[in-house]
Amino acid sequence: MASTDPTKLKVVKQLSRPDILFCLARVPGTSQVFFGSSDAKVYGVDLSLEKPEPQAVAEHESYVTGLALAGNYVISGGYDCRLIWTAVENREQVRSIDAHQSRIRQIVAAPGGQIIASVADDMVCRLWDVESGKLLHELRGHEAMTPHHYPSMLYACAFSADGSYVATGDKAGHVVVWEVASGKQAATLEAAGMYTWDPNHRRHSIGGIRSLAFSPDGTRLVVGGMGTVSNIDHPDVPARLEIFDWRQGQRTHEIAADGKLKGMIQQLVFHPGGDWFVGAGGGYGGMILFYDLTGSKMIFQDAAPMHVHGIAVNETCDTIYAAGHNKVLIWELKV
């Protein structure tokens, strides 16, 4: 892992698509990925093949916006408010449940793959037992309305590396960290700089927390989104990151992407050794950036070939798989 160099980032494979891909998950130890589509389907594909051919493995009734690999299953969720369990090996549907009262925004698996978390626009995070599909906890700590009395959204969630905590973040910039075992709140944080209210052009709000990631040692929580927007019809502002010592309730870093990298950070992933974290997303175009938390410095940032919605990093941290608007691609970063 020490040999990886984010400044050597290079696209080595691209797969064009007619749809928008909202989420991606990778089978550990392989180049097989699953992705969720705007055509309401979940696809699986082996990107190590010379000519990869995605195959549909599950189908929802609307956009597929959440995806997680947990145990022997790929679990998907979407705007139809349902969670669907599909067996990785034989691609057969195992379970389908009505999980939320509104659009599901994200699904993440806890380390070990025994629990998943789902968040949705009903402003609830639910924790599920992977094998049985049983609801373990219902976590309610986010307001249904923004400070300006418009419907809020619960976009993001993330587990700590030891699986003890799960964090959730909403449109208004409110973050809650929860104890997984008890379902109790452990901390609350505010990243209000992620939220914009436009009283002039639209009388509407935009932005919000779109991604979260705990540092490998569990001491820091990275929050990703976008900066303050002057006109929501033209959200042409740099992506934004805020970093918290969440146990102390202290913001330690406020970071703006390069002025050319507009939009929001849709997903964050840490190097397992804590050497850096990678964020990806976009607006009218796409972006990717790498940040050294220990040294408090940006390592590398660049445009991406598409607006990125989902990324996965391999075990040696030299390959990144990404899905987004009309593409699946592979980046390599090596010395």
Give residue limits of the domains in the chain: 6-17+100-332
Residue 201 pLDDT more than 80?
no
- Per-residue b or e along 24-63, where b marks 16 or more CB atoms closer than 10 Å to that residue's CB: bbbeeeebbbbbbbbbbbbbbbebeeeebebeebbbbeeb
Could you tell me the two tokens for 234? Answer: 């033209």
Rounded Cα distance between 291 and 253, Å, is 11
Q: What is the pLDDT of residues 11-69, one digit of tens each?
A: 999 999 999 999 999 999 999 999 999 999 999 999 999 999 999 999 999 999 999 99
Under CATH, to which class is 6-17+100-332 assigned? Answer: mainly beta
Task: Using alpha carbons only, give the angle 18, 19, 21 rounded to the nearest 5 degrees.
Answer: 135
Task: Using alpha carbons only, give the angle 316, 52, 49 rounded to the nearest 5 degrees.
Answer: 55
For residues 39 and 20, is the Cβ–Cβ distance under 8 A?
no
Q: What is the pLDDT of residues 158-194, one digit of tens each?
A: 999 999 999 999 999 999 999 999 999 999 999 988 9
Rounded Cα distance between 164 and 96, Å, is 27
Could you tell me the two tokens for 314? Answer: 């391999």
Considering only residues 207 and 323, tell me which one the structure prediction assigns the higher pLDDT: 323
